[in-house]
């Protein structure tokens, strides 16, 4: 069994994967005065039960690294995954300063399309891998090089975002796309190898500005699209696909077992596309089960 949690953090992103192996993965960070204590305590407890913890930073926008300094102080990040970059900001916050320190340190592992690393996607006699692979960026692609240059000049780092895939043998497949923008996705589509997924976390919290082109969506054929938190007037609700909207659902927990995904939310949330298998979990509302 593995678990994927999408935290309700307001206008921002934070996730973890509690793997069915000796791995724990955190994707992005968005902490505030209201949520930082319970999130930090949960992440510290769960990661402390695993031999390997990695933090994947999609890109250094504030709503994806807010509180990174607090998280690092709490769990002492030893494996910091990001694309190699020189992004800069005119006004540096404590979290961006910490991002740069980690990015430029010996703790950093620079991810790119097809990269391999022990326990990320390679097994060893000591432990199995996490099941994570990187579908993008192609560091030689002209569009990515342009995004790198723009971010180094202090422009938006959105298009530095990698495309991350998690796959459980016989079970869930999930994809994260950071804050990649629609026009950028249209340019790089031919350079990304996409296939059907169970859960899709679309770019830019589900905003129109990160709407995935229809041709890419057809390849992904997601069974569930998680629409992130943002003002409703900016969201694209991916008509024609089964969706869960985090604005309403609150925290979302995907309990992943071979052939099934049990879906729980912190708020009462009702859909008609999941089966009711009568699952229970203390403190959570059972939404239903997706059969794969």
User: pLDDT of 254-291, one tens digit each?
Assistant: 999 999 999 999 999 999 999 999 999 999 999 999 99
The pLDDT value given to residue 287: 98
CA distance linking residue 285 with residue 253, whole number of Å? 10
The pLDDT value given to residue 121: 96
The pLDDT value given to residue 230: 80
The range of the structural domain enclosing residue 239 comes to 2-291
What lies within 8 Å, CB to CB, of 261 at 6+ separation is 171, 172, 198, 199, 224, 254, 255, 289, 290, 292
User: pLDDT of 116-127, one tens digit each?
Assistant: 999 999 999 999
Closest by Cα among 13, 4, 5 to 64: 13
The proportion of the chain whose per-residue pLDDT surpasses 70, expressed as a percent, equals 100
Per-residue pLDDT at 235 exceeds 90: no
CATH number where 8 lies: 3.60.15.10
Mean pLDDT over 80-109 rounds to: 97
Domain count for the chain: 1
How, if at all, do strands 80-82 and 52-56 pair?
parallel
């Amino acid at each position: 069994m593995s678990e994927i949690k999408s935290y309700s953090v307001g206008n921002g992103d934070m996730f973890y994967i509690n793997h069915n192996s000796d791995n724990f993965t955190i994707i992005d960070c968005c902490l505030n005065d209201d949520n930082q204590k319970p999130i930090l305590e949960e992440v510290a407890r769960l990661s402390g039960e695993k031999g390997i913890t990695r933090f994947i930073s999609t890109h250094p926008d504030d709503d994806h690294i807010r509180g990174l300094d607090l998280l690092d102080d709490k769990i002492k990040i030893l494996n910091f995954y990001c694309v190699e970059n020189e992004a800069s900001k005119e006004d540096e916050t404590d979290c961006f300063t910490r991002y740069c320190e980690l990015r430029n340190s010996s703790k950093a592992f620079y991810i790119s399309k097809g990269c391999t690393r022990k326990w990320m996607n390679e097994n060893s006699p000591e432990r199995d891998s996490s099941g994570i692979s990187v579908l993008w960026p192609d560091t030689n692609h002209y569009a990515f090089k342009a995004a790198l240059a723009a971010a180094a000049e202090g422009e938006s780092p959105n298009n530095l975002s990698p495309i991350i895939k998690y796959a459980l043998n016989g079970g869930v497949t999930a994809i994260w796309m950071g804050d990649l923008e629609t026009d950028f996705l249209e340019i790089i589509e031919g350079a990304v190898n996409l296939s059907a997924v169970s859960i899709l976390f679309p770019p830019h919290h589900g905003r129109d500005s990160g709407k995935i082109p229809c041709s890419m969506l057809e390849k992904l054929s997601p069974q569930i699209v998680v629409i992130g938190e943002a003002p409703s007037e900016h969201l694209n609700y991916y008509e024609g696909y089964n969706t869960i909207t985090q604005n309403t659902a609150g925290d979302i927990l995907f309990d992943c077992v071979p052939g099934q995904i049990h879906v729980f939310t912190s708020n009462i949330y009702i859909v008609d596309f999941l089966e009711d298998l009568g699952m229970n979990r203390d403190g959570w509302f059972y939404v239903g089960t997706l059969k794969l």
